[in-house]
Chain A
């Protein structure tokens, strides 16, 4: 057992003497006796400490009981994606100088982190086509919630209209959070995969959509934003950052706030976190942004430097009138993001996304050639496609899993209207051979279920 303390018995005696007390117990005299645990109790329910080696073995054994994306051929996506993370990211973000400091409260000794934030903000701003980016929020769905709060602070209108194409986790998060500040959430339906907005009146604070949407469909973002603007509402778009390499940027489409999940930018899957959320907006919303923002300035000798700026928006200064309560966000994950975007570069991000687009088109053609498999919608897609299976999806998935193929995400729980829905993600890690194997395994599984022969393996 190590608690990573360095105090020897002799240190402890000397230190107690200096303080002028006779035991460590005396230091806790302010705690009412009734509340004090006996030393033997410790933290009830906890075992004895272990050696480093023993802890390693336990954590390794737990890891071995998970089927990771290395252990099967996986087409799971639905918000987080199995992209290749280049080796240089690990090498850089594991450096103590990035890993172990905290928020750059002392800019003179935090220029590395601050400049990285500035570079991150620039890269994300380029992707979304919006001029203002913060330095990160927690992750994707809570970024949608944070955007809703900015809309609430901006126009105070009582209702959000959220597309059914927005990630179910984002819609649920928005509903949870907006109960706090009291904005209603109503849903706009999908038709053939695309959002159909209802008539908007002056009560609508923001229209919230996703690009591409949860079913993989590319939305007509320009048209949606235009309808929202005509009603005086803000447009909030949750976007997937890699497809933005090809898609018209939210800024070009007239979106006011573009947010999203940053996991695909050089971050691990990590069973769902930590990753980062990005948050960008128009210049008009600069002073309502949540979270940290790095800005360029000069030092007293005129030398270029970076600081946390516009802090009068933030919780530690503005207190109950802050634009958000966020403090610790995802600096290290955002750093991985800007390293990844630098690694891809201006041409690479386009090449990567075109590769996914073409492989997804190939998968779409091959998969829909399977009897009993059709497209759930006809909209253009980039990385992810939605299929409808004429067979019980859970049983089809089980059959595929038995063959070492995880064919994707069953849509039925989130979209009861698509009980036969299967969402299939084609990242650059999935080759033509992988897609061919999916076609063969899924084809056999669907055929078996349609023939209703045998139980799942």
Chain B
């Protein structure tokens, strides 16, 4: 097992692996003989911030009361006042800092290790972006500042709109939506507005089995019925099934290309012909845009509406589950319905340069889907990224993302993994690939879940598991362009090692992980009798 750290080695390159499971006496835990109170984790008592509370402690000191005091009853009648204060914790600043620092050490993160979470594009988050986003001119700008006094922000947004339009190959961009699923919902509502404006009441939206996971819920919220389209034996949309289901009741086809199988839809032009032939719109879920930037463009493929995930493709840090942003690009026929306000550039007069403004006068707009102008702090980071890379850099991103994915797939095959974890479809993949753990489950008696849990002991984040649903025991691997060849080699060795280990004793994987702050958690009990807040 060259180069692979022993999984039960406390020095493994895993932030959660120092002094593994210090207070875990389980007999099958290889670390059980480590004394409980040694090492940095000895200080971690696992208490919540509420359990650290002690009456009389405080961090906040209020500014001086510099206006005349007045009885509370005069300012706010008792009938409107709460009887008991909210029981927030009473803690000092040092305790708060220590508490959250300790919590942070119970997280695995992208800055520490490999995070090939398929469909999530866990690429490096450049540090420059945090610095520029924190500049007071960006971070402390009030959203209702008059556009005249927010020209830098509006120019940045306009420039970002132009850049995204160029990448998508579509002429109009709205930065309004807050995340990918919010962009999808905007897209479905735009489709609805487009059809209704033409006097048509359509009822169905087509989604292939390889669509992004949020699509079906989005369709329902948009007031449409979901109609599934199958895939063929190469993993592409089944064109015959599509032809059979595409009729005048269909409002839209939502497609992810490359699909969630990591495969490019080779029949995309025919798909566009079929969909447009019945008057429906074609929607591009941008979850997998990282594969094609500067290589090809959704607009050229015939898509009418595209959403971007700025937290995937454009390096907004994922934040443990947000924030993100989900701008949309659209064709001319969809433009009148875009959310408002829209950032516009106005030509200068009398020799002045151009100016930027917020345009609310959009009578056919679907309206707002949120407050203010979108997640501007995210735009600052993504704009900085696009300026750093430029056209050639973005193309290189997609080239290396695809190279890394195909290399890792080849490397896994070479390591003998394919026998137990074959690729779901034997093709050149795009930026990610999907393996099936079905043979592994059958022949080694460990499930994809077990494999993933055992990976935790090796200091890598597991790939996405059990998605897409069309692949049994799926494992979806997206290495991204920012990983080194050595990291990919190491990951292939880890997978091979876990399979070797399972051949000898499947119980090792079945009971993994061993070195994490907690071991497998009882999710069924959590759902059966939910404890979702602290009893105080």
Contact = CB atoms under 8 A, between A and B. Distances in A.
Interface in A386-444: 401, 406, 409, 428, 431-433, 435
Given A30-B266, A70-B140, A432-B67, A121 B374 contact: no
A452 interface: no
B217 A319 contact: yes
Interface stretch (B241-249, B328-336, B416-424, B519-527): B519-527
A354 interface: yes
Contacts of B179: 138, 326-329
Contact of A88 (B93, B152, B323): B93
Interface in B52-93: 53, 57-60, 62-63, 65-70, 72, 75-77, 79-83, 85-91, 93
B371 A261 contact: yes
A63 B428 contact: no
A344 B88 contact: yes
Contacts of A97: 15, 104-105, 107-109, 111-112
Contacts of A359: 66-67
B220 interface: yes
B370 A74 contact: no
B207 to A, nearest CB: 9
Contacts of A92: 97, 100-101, 104
A45 B371 CA distance: 30
B88 A316 contact: no
B25 to A, nearest CB: 7
B416 to A, nearest CB: 15
A273 B532 contact: no
Contact of B59 (A66, A106, A342): A342
A42 to B, nearest CB: 3
B76 A299 contact: no
Given A31-B264, A59-B135, A295 B526 contact: yes
B531 interface: yes
A343 B75 CA distance: 26
A14 B222 contact: no
B181 A345 contact: no
Given A109-B16, A180-B222, A325-B185, A273 B377 contact: yes
A37 B297 contact: yes
Given A108-B513, A297-B525, A345-B89, A29 B428 contact: yes
B378 interface: yes
Contacts of B182: 138, 142, 326
A259 to B, nearest CB: 12
Chain B residues touching A, range:
35 or more
A139 interface: yes
B380 to A, nearest CB: 7
Contacts of B103: 111-113, 115-116
Interface stretch (A128-136, A196-204, A224-232, A369-377): A128-136
B85 A30 contact: no
Contacts of B67: 358-359, 361-362, 432, 435
B217 A65 contact: no
Looking at chain B's contact residues, is the secondary structure mostly helix, strand, loop, or mixed?
loop
Interface string B142-181: 1111100111110110000011011101000000001111
Nearest to B76: A380
Interface string B350-363: 00000000000000
Given A66-B141, A247-B81, A271-B143, A169 B368 contact: yes
B151 A342 contact: no
Given A43-B395, A97-B15, A111-B518, A76 B76 contact: no
Interface string A252-286: 10000000010000001111111010000000001
A176 B367 contact: yes
Contacts of B49: 119, 338, 342
Nearest to A309: B526
Contacts of B43: none
B138 A19 contact: no
A115 B461 contact: no
B9 interface: no
Contacts of A125: 533
A122 interface: yes
A35 B368 contact: no
Nearest to B409: A19
Given A32-B266, A273-B377, A62 B137 contact: yes
A293 B532 contact: yes
Contacts of B462: 106
Given A67-B150, A325-B218, A303 B519 contact: yes
Contact of B68 (A7, A176, A362): A362
A68 to B, nearest CB: 4
Nearest to A413: B360
Contact of B75 (A111, A244, A345, A358): A358
Interface in A297-332: 297-301, 303-307, 309-312, 315-316, 318-322, 324-332
Interface string A338-355: 110111111111111011
A319 B227 CA distance: 12
B294 interface: yes
A103 B320 CA distance: 5
B165 A45 contact: yes
Interface in B470-525: 481-485, 511, 513, 516-523, 525
Contacts of A95: 101, 104
Contacts of B156: 59, 62
A30 B137 contact: no
Given A273-B323, A312-B527, A30 B217 contact: no
B136 interface: yes
A68 B534 CA distance: 39
A126 interface: yes
Contacts of B292: 31
Most buried by A among B216, B320, B323: B320
Interface in A1-52: 1-7, 11-12, 14-16, 18-21, 24, 26-32, 34-37, 39, 41-50, 52
Given A56-B128, A345-B90, A24 B399 contact: yes
B294 A102 contact: no
Given A46-B386, A169-B372, A20 B88 contact: no
B117 A102 contact: yes
Nearest to B296: A35
Given A15-B403, A122-B50, A346-B86, A1 B390 contact: yes
A454 interface: no
Given A47-B390, A315-B213, A307 B130 contact: no
A43 B163 contact: yes
Contacts of A189: none
A18 B166 contact: no
Contact of B393 (A49, A348, A351): A49
Interface stretch (B119-127, B273-281, B435-443): B119-127
B461 A106 contact: yes
B34 to A, nearest CB: 14
Contacts of B169: 44
A423 to B, nearest CB: 10
A249 B82 CA distance: 6
B87 to A, nearest CB: 5
B345 interface: no
A-B CB proximity, top 6 nearest: A63-B137, A42-B391, A272-B372, A332-B319, A272-B143, A65-B152
Given A119-B49, A294-B532, A333-B319, 13 more contacts: A59-B156, A62-B155, A109-B461, A111-B103, A126-B88, A175-B367, A181-B220, A273-B377, A286-B530, A322-B216, A342-B96, A343-B60, A358-B65
9 contacts: A105-B117, A108-B16, A270-B376, A271-B372, A271-B373, A273-B178, A307-B521, A319-B226, A342-B88
